Amino acid sequence: METGRRRPCAPCATVGTKLMRDPSVVRGPDGQFHMVWTTGWWDQGFGVAHSTDLRAWSPQSFVPVLDGTPGVQNVWAPEIHYDSGAAEYLVVWSSTIHGRFPETAQGGDERQGGRLNHRLYAITTKDFTTWSPARLFYDGGFSVIDGVVVQDGDRAVLVMKDVTRYPEPRKHLRVATAAHMAGPFGSASPAFTPDWVEGPTVLRLGDVWRIYYDEYTRKRYGAMDTRDFRTFTPVADVAFPDGMRHGTAFAVPHSIADPLDR
């Protein structure tokens, strides 16, 4: 994690295979910032750390969400959310579990001698000590990663990447809705972004939702604005620090943000 002046404000990874990518951060009702991240390409869990000021971080912990499940290949891009209705934290990530969802088994990218075939999975916690069992969170009939959930009035919206590679690449973002953050979510919308994007992060700006995403093959960021998650307007001149990749945009009080740039 970096500030606008490119000063690192997150620790080096110490858990899993010691990778820190795809960071997701939420501020809870306890006033703390809670961060989860991908700890390795082929780990079976994710990392967790906490901070009150985004400078000093707690010791890291590793949450082995699918440890021991036959056929698990990975745990990628965990996204943390606070579900105020359930008074708990919801973490959503993507995993390929070989042998499941055979109808789309040949549609993914090739890795480690096989094809990736992701679905979204989730766990919940109230205290980051006790976790619910992992469960299937979303199966829309296609390989999917990068699931982000926001509360939009009386409904929840899931923004995700359709990561289908074959027979024709999709690699674009879609949305689905539910009555609650925990789901179940309905059928996915058509694509609302160009192909070859990933890593959505969603901010509320007044009465508009802004969805940022990584146009990774074009080495830049893009964004769409929407009021209803049905009609989307491209945002011109999106500016991020050079080298910015899959991360999280989130609101921070000036009392915390300003010292980070000093």
In tens digits, the chain (262 residues) has pLDDT values of: 554 555 556 678 999 999 999 999 999 999 999 999 999 999 999 999 999 999 999 999 999 998 889 999 999 999 999 999 999 999 999 999 999 999 999 999 998 888 999 999 999 999 999 999 999 999 999 999 999 999 999 999 999 999 999 999 999 999 999 999 999 999 999 999 999 999 999 999 999 999 999 999 999 999 999 999 999 999 998 888 888 888 888 989 999 999 987 7
Which residues span the domain enclosing 109? 21-199
Quote the pLDDT of residue 58: 97
Q: Which residues contact 190 (CB under 8 A, 6 or more apart)?
A: 174
Quote the pLDDT of residue 260: 86
184 found inside a domain: yes
Quote the pLDDT of residue 5: 52
184 cis-preceded (ω within 30 degrees of 0): yes
210 found inside a domain: no
Contact, 48 vs 58, CB < 8 A?
no
Contact, 197 vs 185, CB < 8 A?
no
109 found inside a domain: yes
Tokens found for residue 213: 């995403």
66 found inside a domain: yes
CA distances from 150 to 15, 100, 247 (A): 28, 28, 16
SS (H, E, C) the chain: CECCCCCECCCCCCCCCCCCEEEEEEECCCCCEEEEEECCCCCCCEEEEEECCCCCCCCCEEECCCCCCCCECCCEEEEEEEECCCCEEEEEEEEEECCCCHHHCCCCCEECCEECCEEEEEEEECCCCCECCCEEEECCCCCEEEEEEEEECCEEEEEEEECCCCCCCCCEEEEEEECCCCCCCCCCCCCCCCCCCEEEEEEEECCEEEEEEEECCCCEEEEEEECCCCCCEECCCCCCCCCCCCCCCCCCCHHHHHHHCC
214 found inside a domain: no
Quote the pLDDT of residue 245: 84
189 found inside a domain: yes
> Could you tell me which of 108, 122, 114 has the C-alpha nearest to residue 182?
122
23 cis-preceded (ω within 30 degrees of 0): no
118 found inside a domain: yes
45 found inside a domain: yes
Question: Where does residue 14 rank: exposed (0-12), middle (13-18), buried (19+ CB within 10 A)?
Answer: middle
Number of separate domains in the chain: 1
pTM of the shown model: 0.94
Q: What is the domain-level CATH number for residue 42?
A: 2.115.10.20
Quote the pLDDT of residue 255: 94
